[in-house]
Amino acid sequence: MSQTPDQTTAWVAVDWGTTHMRLWRMATDGTVLGCQSCNKGMGQIEPHAYEGILLDMLADHLPPSAALDVVVCGMAGSRQGWAEAPYAPTPCAPPSIEQATLVPTDDPRLRVHILPGVKQVDPIDVMRGEETQIRGVTARMPDYDGVICLPGTHTKWVRIKQGQIGEFATFMSGELFTVIGQHSVLRHSVGTSGWDRDAFRTACQGATDDATFLMRSLFGLRAGSLLADLSPEAARATLSGLLLGAELAAARSFWGDRDVTIVGESTLSQAYGDALALQGMTPQMMDDEETTLNGLRDAYAQLLES
């Protein structure tokens, strides 16, 4: 992102995930002054390390005396993170600054607010980080009434009505794709890159239409590479299509009769968009980074109001 060195950092937005963190230095009007990222996610560091990482990344931008507000979403607020930010129960508006946990810091130049996640009691489920992306959507579209799909390692499908998070469900399709493709016998057949759209669409349609299709088709990827010259790219796309199709079948109650907005990284979002298009849907697509940042902007705006 662009740098504007002649402007003072008014506050800092942070998305702190399991494997990576992203930090944006922000001007008062919400303009991004600079963006940094690192691979020091919650899974790689101990709770005592968070403050030092922030201080290192902000070394040239800290005020000499006043405290700099830092608004954080994601896994920094988990039980294994910096400080646990308790879950807000559904149904609820996407949590914002009034529910944030104020983290004690050794350096008085930092004032850190960690946004909470969301929990669902029946059926039991949790999210942490996605709720800020949801706020990014509802801040832009306050009257949104539909479903938000957040593709990732653990994909979320979330019903939104009158600005409230209602029912949501988590699907581990992304993690299963990695585990099966890299740690099962199919690792010998499934490529690590490349794509075959026709293979993806065929597998996705089959798994969406037939609950038995996924389990009946998986070993065929290995047999196909041995006997029918199935390419690693086609095998990769087929595995993705099988898992995504099975997910769509299980999540049909979410997307079957509602408008869908997909928020995610472009390549993965496109796969979900392609899968929904096979079902006659035309989802709206939104960038995950910009939507996360919009959610953090909205949280900071509430901090100013309070």
> Per DSSP, what are the bridge partners of residue 149?
157, 262
CATH number at residue 44: 3.30.420.300
DSSP 180-224: HHHHSGGGGT--SS---HHHHHHHHHHHHH-TTHHHHHHHHHHHH
Any domain includes 214: yes
Please answer whether residues 109 and 69 qualify as being in contact, where contact means their C-beta atoms are separated by less than 8 angstroms. Answer: no
Same domain, 221 and 276: yes
CA-CA distance, 55 to 53, in Å (whole number)?
5
Give pLDDT, residue 179: 98
Q: Given a cut of 80, is residue 4 above it in pLDDT? A: no
Torsion angle of C-alpha atoms 130, 292, 280, 206, degrees rounded to 10: -50
> Per DSSP, what are the bridge partners of residue 274?
none
Segment 4-16 mean pLDDT: 83
Please give the share of the chain, as a percent, with pLDDT higher than 90: 92
Please answer whether residues 9 and 54 qualify as being in contact, where contact means their C-beta atoms are separated by less than 8 angstroms. Answer: no
Any domain includes 270: yes
Any domain includes 91: yes
| Domain around 279 | 171-287
pLDDT grade for 189, boundaries at 50, 70 and 90: very high
Any domain includes 233: yes
Buried b / exposed e over 116-140, threshold 16 CB at 10 Å, is: bbbbbeeeeeebbbbbbbbbbbbbe
Q: Is 96 helix (H, G, I), strand (E, B) or coil?
A: coil
Which DSSP helix (H) or strand (E) runs through 126?
A: strand 125-127
Last residue of a domain, one of 97, 128, 159: 128
Segment 110-116 mean pLDDT: 97
CATH number at residue 279: 3.30.420.310
Give pLDDT, residue 216: 98
Any domain includes 153: no
Identify the burial level of 3 via C-beta atoms within 10 angstroms of its C-beta, where 0-12 means exposed, 13-18 middle and 19 or more buried. exposed
Same domain, 180 and 282: yes
Same domain, 122 and 61: yes
Q: Given a cut of 80, is residue 2 above it in pLDDT? A: no
DSSP 216-254: HHHHHHHHHHHHS---HHHHHHHHHHHHHHHHHHHTHHH
CA-CA distance, 98 to 237, in Å (whole number)?
44
Any domain includes 58: yes
Total domains in the chain come to 2
Please answer whether residues 191 and 236 qualify as being in contact, where contact means their C-beta atoms are separated by less than 8 angstroms. Answer: yes
Same domain, 26 and 122: yes
Which DSSP helix (H) or strand (E) runs through 160?
A: strand 155-161
Any domain includes 139: no
Segment 202-209 mean pLDDT: 98
Give pLDDT, residue 1: 41
Any domain includes 138: no
Per residue in 26-84, pLDDT tens?
999 999 999 999 999 999 999 999 999 999 999 999 988 789 999 999 999 999 999 99
Per residue in 219-272, pLDDT tens?
999 999 999 999 999 999 999 999 999 999 999 999 998 899 999 999 999 999
Per residue in 130-160, pLDDT tens?
999 999 999 999 999 999 999 999 999 999 9
Same domain, 119 and 25: yes
In 3D space, the residue among 193, 186, 187 whose CA is nearest the CA of residue 214 turns out to be: 186
Please answer whether residues 103 and 82 qualify as being in contact, where contact means their C-beta atoms are separated by less than 8 angstroms. Answer: yes
